[in-house]
Structures are given as C-alpha cells and as structure tokens.
Structure 1
Amino acid sequence: MSGLIFLILGFVFLIVGFLGEGGHAAALISWTSFVIVFGGTFGSLGTSFTLKQIKNIGRVLRVAFTRKSTDLVELIVYFNHVLDKAKKEGFLSLESEIEENENMDPFMKKGLQLVVDGVHPDYIRNMLEIESEMSFKRHKTYASMFESAGGTAPTMGIVGTVLGLVHVLGGLAKADMNALGASISAAFLATLYGLGSANLIFLPIATRLKNLAKDEQLQKEIIIEALSLVQEKVSSTNLTDTLKSFLDRKDQAKLDSRYLENLNKEGADVA
C-alpha cells in the first residue's frame, strides 16, 4: 500500500508545483492527449505481449501495491519450531501445522505436505526449485511489460505533440492569435502525459515488481533449504546458522537475538 501512496504523492507534488508557478489545474487536462498517449501505449503492449498476459495486468497491479514483505527472521524462527516438533513427534505431526494455519504461504504448505507424505528430499528440492524459478520468470515477464510501457509512453507523447503541432501550423494562416497559444500548449500536454506516466507510473512499477520477485525468490530459497534441514533432523543451531547466511547483517543480528531469547525461555521453562 505504501507504493500506491508514494505514487499519488508524486502526482500531487507535480500538480502543486505547477499551481505554484501560476498555472491552472484545468490546463493539464486534455482528453485527446490522453487517448493518443495511453491508447498508443496500450496498442504497443498488445502487439508485444499475448492477450493472456495483458489480461493479468490488473492482478499484477494488485500484487504490486498490496503484497507485504515476509519477515525472514520470523520465517526461520518458525522453521525452528517445525524442526523441534518433527524431532519430538515425527513428520506426521506437521499435518496439524498445515491444517491449523489457513494463511500459510502456498509454497511452504506444499513443501510441508511433501515432507509429511515422506517424499524423498532430493525430489522435494527439485520440484520446489523448478516452481520457484518459473514463478520468478513470470514476475520478470510482467515487469518487462511495464518497462516496455515506460519506454513507449514518452514516444507516444512526442507523437501526440507532433500531431497537435501539425494541426496548429496547418491552420496558422487563419488562426486566431489569442487561441494559438492555447492550442500549442494543448499539443505539448501529450509530451507531459508521456513523460509523467513513464517516470511516475510505468517504470517505478516495473522496478517494484522486480524487487518483489527477488524478495519472493529469496523467501522460497530459505523455505527449500529449511525443509531439507527439517527432513535431516539437524540440530536447531545447525538450522539457524545455515539459514542465517541468507540474511543481511541487520536481520542476522535480529535472528541471533531471537535465538538467544528462545534459549533463555526454554531454560527458564526447564527450571
């Protein structure tokens, strides 16, 4: 949601700056420029990508602006809990983890179910790695759609401005000089729409999708490695130290703090 807020703020600052220079909000509205820029951009996307991919734009936008980042430290702490339960009660006990947690990530749920079913670790890793890679490729495809739109929109803006100037210059001999300035101004709105939409909408969304894809891939790599360690029934320290290597230094320090906190808690419970 924060991405949507900053996108709106970008447009607000742009308009406020324009009004601060003495402009009028109505001067920024031109339906013909809108049709040329966004219609041309949409046509270009339809030519470059399949109809199936175009239909998914709404879903992709919803993901881009509503998806929350996963707390990787909490994810590793959770797998410590899963490991402890598997060692004490066996893999079949993990069935309850799947049934009770309705909001569990589908990728992790699938992996845990395979562990419960007793599937060989190498098969689980191979299957989940393929699924992770294909998901990452899909995300890259949708990011490239918005990159393409970000490259096309400014060009469509120039096309719209040229078309407007052709119309203005074509009637220059009979033009009302009072209306000439307004006509030229309207022609340049197409360039504004193209540049504004590319740099405030299309390219930032493309970058956001790429970052979300990287975060999701890292999360899935941790899940895959964690499931393998759970199946091996390694020590809690081994699991934590192995998965900690996926984190940045700030999260590593946070994980160490949580691990010590859990150890102190277990010691207090025993006492």
Structure 2
Amino acid sequence: MLKSSANDFKAGMSLLPRIFMNPMSPVSIIDQLVELADVARKDGLIALESQEVKHSYLAKGIQLLVDGQKPELVAKTLDAESDAQAKREKHGVSVWSYMGEVAPAMGMVGTLIGLVALLKNMDSQAALTSGMALALLTTLYGAVLANAIALPIANKMRVQSEVEELNREIIQDGVSYIQTGGNPRVLADMLASYVPPSQAAKLSIYAK
C-alpha cells in the first residue's frame, strides 16, 4: 500500500459498505426534483423543509434553499461538495485497483519464498512438500485476491461513482431551477436530457 496515502486507504475502506447498496437511479432523482419543484412553486421554498428527501446531496441543496441562501452561494456550496465527494470516490477506486495490481506480485513473492525453502531442503520429504504447497498456494491466493475480490470491488466502486457523479450534476441543475420557482414540467424536460430516452420515458410526470 506504499503507493497510496493513509487518507486514500481510509477512503477505500470507508467506501466499501457502499458496494452492497445500489445508488439512487437518475430517474428517481429527477422524479423527486420535479416533485420538490411543484411544492416550491405552489407553497414557496420554505415548504420544502417538510419534504422527505432521500439523497443526502439533494438534502443539502434543499436545506440551502430553505435557509434562503443566494443562488451563487448555493451553486458554490454544492459544487465544492461534489468535488470533494468525487475525490473521495476516486481515491477509493484507486486503492482497490492498486490492491488488484499488486496482489499477484505478492503471490509470486510467496512462490519464490516457497521455492527457496524447497531447494534448501531437497533431502527432506516433509520440507519438500510444505515448500511446494507454499509456492502453489501463495500464487493462488494472490490471483484470488486480485480477480475475485480487489478488482471486482474497484469496478463496482467505479460504476457507482459514475452514477453518483451524474446524480450530483442533475441535482445541481435541479436545485438551481427550483430556486427560480419555475414550472416542474419544464424542469423535467430539462433534466430528461441527462438520461437515455428509454429511461426518460419512465419519468412520473410523463405518465400523468
């Protein structure tokens, strides 16, 4: 883990529980933003305080609106939070990718140690057997750690990070629009461009 800093390693470990949970879909995010826009247009931004918001980043944006912050500050705050989260996610992916890269090499080190032990004890059947076992097992463990654990985790984190980055972009635009008191239908049309047409067709507002 010499390539990664202690903070990067902590980020990699802290993000591990997330791989067992699916992020909210962009369509779900857009649906909620449209609902919030409808509430804000009818009852004002302060009415958003009583709304249940499922995504933590969206919740932060809505709280900024409820607090009456200026549009410039809302955008700046959300942008800074998004950048910080993106960096944490990138570090997490890099840690697990690096583990996947070095695990086979570490397995080969174990193999060499086993072979050295084997060659030093050619006259002992027991030592010969244990040395051969160590040589084979460490190679296997390295391959398993890389291909069955570390690399799949890195790939899952990478995919989730891409989804969350898209969600944050949608939220930034959505929160900014809600603050203007604009039409929810217009917001839906605007945010639908973030997703493929087949997904956009699933938006609740289009089903009405």
Give the deviation of 1:186 after TM superposition: 3.2
Residue 166 of structure 1 aligns with an amino acid whose one-letter code is V
Match of 1:30 in 2: none
Q: Could you say which structure has the larger radius of gyration?
A: 1
Give the deviation of 1:197 after TM superposition: 0.8
TM value normalised by structure 2:
0.91
Matches within 5 A, 1:178-217: 180=128, 183-217=131-165
Give the deviation of 1:180 after TM superposition: 3.6
Matches within 5 A, 1:243-258: 243-255=191-203, 258=204
Match of 1:269 in 2: none
Q: 5+ unaligned residues in a row in structure 2: which ranges?
A: none
Q: Structure 1 CA distance, aligned partners of 2:202 and 2:186?
A: 17
Match of 2:82 in 1: 132
Q: Structure 1 CA distance, aligned partners of 2:171 and 2:142?
A: 42
Match of 1:75 in 2: 29
Give the deviation of 1:215 after TM superposition: 0.9
Match of 1:154 in 2: 104
Match of 2:15 in 1: 60
TM value normalised by structure 1:
0.71
Matches within 5 A, 1:102-117: 104-117=54-67
Give the deviation of 1:69 after TM superposition: 2.2
Secondary structure class of the residue paired with 1:234: coil
Match of 1:260 in 2: 206
- How many residues of Structure 1 are paired with residues of Structure 2 in the alignment? 208
Match of 2:73 in 1: 123
Q: Structure 1 CA distance, aligned partners of 2:137 and 2:4?
A: 28
Contact 2:106 2:142 in 1 (8 A): yes
Contact 2:26 2:166 in 1 (8 A): no
Contact 2:57 2:168 in 1 (8 A): yes
Q: Structure 1 CA distance, aligned partners of 2:37 and 2:47?
A: 11
Q: Structure 1 CA distance, aligned partners of 2:15 and 2:27?
A: 27
**Aligned-pair RMSD on alpha carbons?**
1.9
Which range moved further: 232-241 or 158-167?
232-241
Q: Structure 2 CA distance, aligned partners of 1:156 and 1:84?
A: 57
Secondary structure class of the residue paired with 1:163: helix
